[in-house]
Amino acid sequence: MLSAITRFIVLISLAFLAAYIALSNLGPSAGIASGIAVLSIPLIYSYVNLARLRRFTLEDSVESMPLPSGYWEEIFFRLQRLVRNLKLQIRSTEQQHNRFIEAFQASPNGIVMLDDQDQIEWCNAIAERFFGLSFKRDVLQRINFLIRRPEFVQYLYKRQFEEPLLLERMGQGANLSLMLQAFPFGDKRHLLLIQDVTDKQRADAMRRDFVANVSHEMRTPITVLMGFLETMQSLDLDKTQQNQYFEMMMSQAQRMKSLVEDLLTLANLEANTLPAPMKAINISTLMALIKNDAEALSQGRHSLHFEIATPCNLMGEDREILSAFSNLVTNAIRYTPDAGQVIAQWSINDQGQGEFSVTDTGPGIASEHLARLTERFYRVDRSRSRDTGGTGLGLAIVKHIANRHQAQLMIESTPGKGSTFTLRFPKERITD
């Protein structure tokens, strides 16, 4: 390809040649006109190519424009390469940007980006759900106009973001606890990270309640025991009185022992997440054991019936099954007034599932309590439970044992008439 100077020299020579030929043949005016005409050829060529370039630029199709010849070819070629590279760069930046957005959207935490005026620049779907925001609607709105909780407004105002902020009763049902923290980034911008801590808060509250309950349950018998000891220390009691006091002290100690035993059983059950083993438990033998204990507890005050519709084996952990069955029978006897009736039954239902049910003619339980009966220390009638030696942990234990055996605990009750507690075992745990 010719260089620019060579092209310039060739053009000037051509212009002179044309002017000379025209001058010698047609006179001076024709000579000047021919010289100018030759000189304007590259101008026309450039104008045509500029017009093409303008058209392709307007149509955003620079990459596909055909390359002209001459020095415009290089300009078009370089421009095409530049546009192509720029588009590639834009596409890769867009892809990266989308990946960041996708990653932020996949985060289990709420994320809000605030500009230097605390206006929302971007937020993910979780943050929208937590705060009832809509990114499309609320973009560039000041966040403290949208989240109006005083503690949050204060937090933003004070700008002490080293500590997180706990927001309770958030979300649509006002049932969420959210932990929020602002992190500075870029040019006076802030990233708000919001974590749902509802379950953790609930677990913490349960743990606190549990410790308070255990302390309370232990303190009562200890206080009574100490009272007796002080009395025995300060008073000169005769043998009969001393024996009476010892008996009362024994019953308090027994109460503490039952509580500690139940707590240990519960702790063991909770620690063991594996399904119960498949040891064969003979239902007839098991029912005979429970019947003996029940008769000893009732002392003839109730009419007791033990029925086995289908003798078979239940596959499970024998100690746990015995504990669950006796808990239900013991409760029925403890809560049913004298002369009442308690029926314990074992049967196989139409689906082949094994059912152990205990029906009593006791006081029954109002429906609002039913869902909470298996919570630790939940009692309908506190004093009745204590008077009959209850720890408030019996049904929580039964429920755990049921879970370990893939069994269901069902409670039906009519206040004033009585209750039926049923444990339903899957047919895979029943054998002949």
User: CB neighbours of 218 closer than 8 A, spacing ≥ 6?
Assistant: 256, 259
Does position 379 interact with ligand ADP (CB under 6 A)? The reply is yes
Strands 313-316 and 430-431: antiparallel
Residue of the chain from 394, 404, 407, 425 that contacts ligand ADP (CB under 6 A): 394
Residue of the chain from 324, 373, 407, 409 that contacts ligand ADP (CB under 6 A): 373
Helices H / strands E in the chain, number of each: 14, 13
Residue of the chain from 22, 395, 402, 409 that contacts ligand ADP (CB under 6 A): 395
Does position 31 interact with ligand ADP (CB under 6 A)? The reply is no
Segment interacting with ligand ADP (CB under 6 A) among 50-58, 221-229, 235-243, 372-380: 372-380
Which sign does the torsion angle of CA 294, 300, 302, 307 carry?
Answer: positive
Complex with ligand ADP: residue 35 or 340, whichever CB lies closer:
340
Q: Residue written as tokens 């206040």?
A: 415
Residue 127: CB atoms within 10 Å: 24
Complex with ligand ADP: residue 176 or 344, whichever CB lies closer:
344
User: CB neighbours of 301 closer than 8 A, spacing ≥ 6?
Assistant: 338, 339
State the alpha helices, DSSP H only, in 272-305: 283-298
CB of 309 to ligand ADP, least distance (A): 21
Beta bridge partners of 195: 179
Secondary structure of 62-128 in the HEC alphabet?
Answer: HHHCCCCCCHHHHHHHHHHHHHHHHHHHHHHHHHHHHHHHHHHHHCCCEEEEECCCCEEEEECHHHH
Residue of the chain from 259, 391, 405, 407 that contacts ligand ADP (CB under 6 A): 391
The three-class DSSP label of residue 179 is: strand
* Helix, strand, coil shares, percent, the chain, to 5: 55, 20, 25
Number of residues located near ligand ADP, criterion CB under 6 A? 21
Contact flags string 79-118 toward ligand ADP, x per CB under 6 A = ----------------------------------------
Does position 419 interact with ligand ADP (CB under 6 A)? The reply is yes
CB of 365 to ligand ADP, least distance (A): 5
Complex with ligand ADP: residue 60 or 209, whichever CB lies closer:
209
Sheet of strand 418-425, all strands in order from the earlier edge strand to the far edge:
303-308, 341-348, 354-360, 418-425, 408-414
CB of 248 to ligand ADP, least distance (A): 20
Segment interacting with ligand ADP (CB under 6 A) among 86-94, 301-309, 348-356, 394-402: 394-402
Residue 76: CB atoms within 10 Å: 18
Binders of ligand ADP in range 310-369 (CB under 6 A): 331-332, 335, 360, 362-363, 365
Count Cβ atoms within 10 A of the Cβ of residue 61 and give its class: 0-12 exposed, 13-18 middle, 19 or more buried: exposed
CB of 180 to ligand ADP, least distance (A): 39
Residue of the chain from 380, 401, 409, 423 that contacts ligand ADP (CB under 6 A): 380
Residue of the chain from 392, 400, 404, 405 that contacts ligand ADP (CB under 6 A): 392
Instruction: Tell me which residues touch ligand ADP (CB under 6 A).
Output: 331-332, 335, 360, 362-363, 365, 373, 378-381, 385, 390-396, 419
